[in-house]
Amino acid sequence: AHGSGKFLHSDGSSYDGQWKEDMKSGEGFETWSDGSTFKGEYRDGKKHGNGVFQSADSSSFSGQFVNDNMDGEGKYTFADGRVYVGGWQDSQMNGFGRMRWPDGRWYEGGYVGDRKSGEGTFRWPDGRSYSGQWMAGKQDGVGRYLDSEGALKTGEWQ
């Protein structure tokens, strides 16, 4: 197939968009049998470029894709209400990002493999905060902790 067209799978999923040499290529809209959808760019049959993925569980991603993976900058809204805006690599949070929780907590800083890593700041709704080093998702290294009373503690966390 070459040009524009729609393909319906026997399981109820479909693709409506541009084709090149029998592969999804260019702009398209894909739906899966579970209700998930993707609208965006394809190359060589894979999600590649800018797009919006909406999962059946109500989570969604809007941003850049490379070879079917979230890769580059993007915004992910989790089914539980958390929102992450930042860098992605191989469908994992990677690089600088900001995560906000529905209860008012937030983190801004580095990520590696979906975990807080490097320098970052975490704040709680009651005014507490930690600014410093992180490793594998945990406070690890030199940092500053401000408690809800305003007392500052500086030290090393492990």
Helix residue ranges, H only, 1-158: none
Q: Is the confidence at residue 82, as pLDDT, over 90?
A: yes
Ordered by where they begin, the domains of the chain are 85-158 (2.20.110.10)
Mean pLDDT of all residues in the chain?
Answer: 97
Q: Name the pLDDT band for 128 (thresholds 50, 70, 90).
A: very high
Report the pLDDT value the prediction gives residue 89, as an integer from 0 to 100: 98
Q: Name the pLDDT band for 122 (thresholds 50, 70, 90).
A: very high
Report the pLDDT value the prediction gives residue 94, as an integer from 0 to 100: 98
pLDDT digits (tens, 9 = 90+) for 46-77: 999 999 999 999 999 999 999 999 999 999 99
Report the pLDDT value the prediction gives residue 1, as an integer from 0 to 100: 76
Q: CA-CA distance, 78 to 61, in Å (whole number)?
A: 9
Per-residue exposure over 135-153, b if at least 16 CB sit within 10 Å of its own CB, e if not = eeeebbeebebbeeeeeee
In the three-class reduction of DSSP (H, G, I as helix; E, B as strand; rest coil), residue 75 is classed as strand
Token pair in block for residue 37: 């959808």
Q: CA-CA distance, 31 to 132, in Å (whole number)?
A: 43
Q: Is the confidence at residue 2, as pLDDT, over 90?
A: no
